[in-house]
Amino acid sequence: MFLLPLALQAADPPIDPRYKACLDLATSNPEAAQNEAERFRLAGGGARARQCLALAYSMQEKWRDAAIAFEAAAQEAAAAKDPTATRYWAQAGNAWLATGEPVKAYAALNNALTAGALTGQDKGEALLDRSRALVAAGQLAAARTDLDAALEEAPRDPLAWLLSATLARRMNDLPRAQSDIAQALRLSADDASVQLEAGNIAAMAGDADAAKAAWEAAVKIAPTGVAGQSARAALGQFDAPAPVPATAPPNK
């Protein structure tokens, strides 16, 4: 699951018309935006031109190029004492996660969070991403700390509750997993990933009926998606003669 929410946000107003045009082009024609971003940089666009280039790479899922460009934007902005450096570091961290490099992701996200400029939803998203980097690095206790902080900043974000529930399951904390997945379901029951995890947690609790119902919901919501396919695989056990107790698919 790779998200780049901050990358799709323009700078706070007032906004340079050329910067806005470059961002718009990055989402509509990312290949053309690469050239425009370079022209914008040569014309003095600075960190924002580099961010536009990074967004163009992101839209093409060229995550490593995007991460490098976001970091360059962050460094240039920081040198100019531009507070948007914090946002660019967060974007870099997200892109490094997409490349599967949690150490680099953690470093970038740590730069974003220690600057102290992120607040509210933006801070919550950066904390979520840093927790993902920590999980990937096997540091589950530290990831729990970040997830708890993320829930404080963004209590209505279903992804935060989903990731928190998944982490609790991985840490064998069934009560916490059940409580958190209930919150995720309340906020986003039509998300196949949420239903998949609800089934995993029900299986962990030995509730085969609830696990089957949740996995069936995931398949119905996203029959060809990753979550739907994982749920379909988990449902295969119910074709066996003795389907109880249900077992969750391997930890994701």
- State yes or no: pLDDT of 64 exceeds 70: yes
55 within 8 A of 33, measured Cβ to Cβ: yes
Tell me the C-alpha distance between 127 and 228, whole Å: 27
Longest CA span, the chain? 70
Q: What is the DSSP string of 8-23?
A: GPPPSSS--HHHHHHH
**Residue 6: what pLDDT?**
46
Using only the alpha carbons of the chain, give its radius of gyration: 20
Tell me the C-alpha distance between 18 and 24, whole Å: 10
Count of H-run helices and E-run strands, the chain: 13, 0
pLDDT per residue as tens digits for the range 206-245: 999 999 999 999 999 999 999 999 999 999 988 755 445 5
Tell me the C-alpha distance between 166 and 56, whole Å: 32
Q: What is the per-residue burial (b if ≥16 Cβ within 10 Å, else e) of 202-237? A: bbbbebbebbbebbbbbbebbeeeebbbbbeebbeb
pLDDT per residue as tens digits for the range 150-202: 999 999 999 999 999 999 999 999 999 999 999 999 999 999 999 999 999 99
**Residue 62: what pLDDT?**
97
Q: How confident is the model at residue 1 (pLDDT cuts 50, 70, 90)?
A: very low
**Residue 7: what pLDDT?**
42
Which residues are within 8 A (CB) of 87 and not within 5 positions of it... i.e. 6 or more apart?
Answer: 6, 9, 112, 118, 122
Q: How confident is the model at residue 16 (pLDDT cuts 50, 70, 90)?
A: confident
214 within 8 A of 196, measured Cβ to Cβ: yes
- State yes or no: pLDDT of 13 exceeds 50: no
Decide: pTM greater than 0.85: no
pLDDT per residue as tens digits for the range 105-154: 999 999 999 987 888 899 999 999 999 999 999 999 999 999 999 999 99
**Residue 239: what pLDDT?**
74
**Residue 70: what pLDDT?**
97
Q: Which of 187, 181, 231, 221 is nearest to 201 (CA)?
A: 181
Q: What is the DSSP string of 28-41?
A: H-HHHHHHHHHHHI
**Residue 14: what pLDDT?**
56
